[in-house]
Amino acid sequence: MKNDCFAHGQELPLGLSMALAQNPIAYGYFAKLSPQQKQQIIDSAHGVRSKKEMQQFVDGMADGDILNTGFN
């Protein structure tokens, strides 16, 4: 996965990038989001404090239920 830049010039956080690379379903979900939705995911990911939490966060994307943000 290349390191993309999004709104506000932020790059995809490394932990999020690594977790998405390990979950093709979540990666596909993320790739289809609008730039604004991607930015919301990135902003939320900044609050994740552990590898396990990041895996759960990304697994939520794969399930289409990312922290009840409405990205179904």
pLDDT reported for residue 63: 82
pLDDT reported for residue 71: 39
Q: What is the mean pLDDT of each run of 10 residues along the chain (72 residues)?
A: 50 92 93 91 92 93 63 38
- The pTM (predicted TM-score) of the whole model is 0.74
- Cβ-based neighbours of 42, under 8 Å, separated by 6 or more: 6, 10, 12, 13, 16
